[in-house]
Structure 1
Amino acid sequence: MASQRIFQLGLRRAAAPGLRVQPAGRMVQRRLAATEHTSQSQAAELLAKQRVQRPVSPHLAIYRPQINWVSSSLNRISGLTLAGPLYIFGIAYLIAPYTGWHLETQSMVAAVAAWPVAAKAGVKVFFAFPFFFHSLQGLRHLTWDLGYGFKNQTFIRTGWAAVGLSTAMGLYYAFLG
């Protein structure tokens, strides 16, 4: 019953114009969006400009960085930091006899001994942190494989522990070891 009355009231208001004077603002038609005629090439160009400004979905800026995904990224980067030079040196060592390079142990030791102390320390620091971080992350993964440490607080604590310990061990190795 109420729905019929509402429907009839709506029909009456739409059919019969009001007798009183309405403000001019209500009678003027307004467009909230401006439109203009564009060619196909202009439309494609405009669309390309809009795509450049659009964020990648899902946009990473909406997330607060967490130790879990930061340590995962650093673990992969540290693995590449260690594996890349190893592969490059291994290939260079294999082709050294054919190219005339001297990569024997004695020549390598003599070359590194001639470096300044700052260069030796820099190379040690560059390789020490990734080595220890990757090793400690490997231990974290082994504990996960055993079924331990799956609480969120444990993830956070072990992640920060891996960062702190690898920094301390890397600095110790680089300067005192």
Structure 2
Amino acid sequence: MADSPSRIERPLSPHLSIYRPLFTMVMSIVHRITGCALYFGTVLLVWWLLAAATSPGAYDLFTGIAGSWIGRLILLGFTWALLHHALGGIRHFMWDFLVGFGPKERVLLAKATLAGSIGLTVIVWIIGLALKG
């Protein structure tokens, strides 16, 4: 049998703890998290549609739970996740056309995504509560 070469000592990969979290990196992670949240939040949408289609009792149960403070908090989070993910998708769409790749532009787009999602969520909820009466 041939002798195998001795093990080569290679440098270890740096651990995540030595990286400084950048704003754009955090926003990328949040974009992925909101995508997962939307996947599970779609269950709420299906539940609402099924409740509306089946019976008044089922719809009353849904509105009772969704109208509670925890239900509203979940719906607020779902609204924000939907808008944040949509704005992040627009940011990625811009990148498909090679727009906004500079260091300053990337940070500006990430901040605009966060500010826009919060602002739009507030606007959507104000309109929704005003229409509710």
Q: TM-score, normalised by structure 2?
A: 0.69
- Aligned counterpart, 2:26: 70
Name the CA distance, whole Å, in 2 between partners of 1:114 and 1:88.
13
* 1:155–1:75 Cα change, 3 Å: same
- The runs of at least 4 aligned residues of structure 1 exceeding 4 Å deviation read 87-90
Q: Which residue of 1 aligns with 2:88?
A: 137
How is 1:1-177 mapped onto 2 (pairs within 5 angstroms)? 57-86=13-42, 103-105=50-52, 106-115=56-65, 116-177=67-128
**Larger C-alpha radius of gyration, 1 or 2?**
1
1:132/1:166 contact within 8 Å kept:
yes
Given that 1:124 and 1:174 are in contact with CA atoms closer than 8 Å, whether structure 2 keeps it comes out as: no
- 1:19-44, Cα deviation, whole Å (9 max, x unpaired): xxxxxxxxxxxxxxxxxxxxxxxxxx
The question of whether the paired residues in 1 share the 8 Å contact of 2:41 and 2:78 is answered with no
Quick one: which amino acid aligns to residue 111 of structure 1? L
Q: Which sits farther off after the overlay, 59-68 or 150-159?
A: 59-68
Provide the aligned C-alpha RMSD in A.
Answer: 2.7
User: What stretches of structure 1 of length at least 5 have no aligned partner?
Assistant: 1-55, 93-102
Identity %: 25
Q: Number of residue pairs matched?
A: 112
Richer in helix (by share)? 2
Deviation, structure 1 residue 87:
5.8
> Would the aligned equivalents of 2:51 and 2:62 in 1 still touch at CA under 8 Å?
no
Unaligned runs of 5+ in 2: 1-11, 129-133
Report deviation, 1:165.
1.1
CA positional deviation for 1:107: 4.6
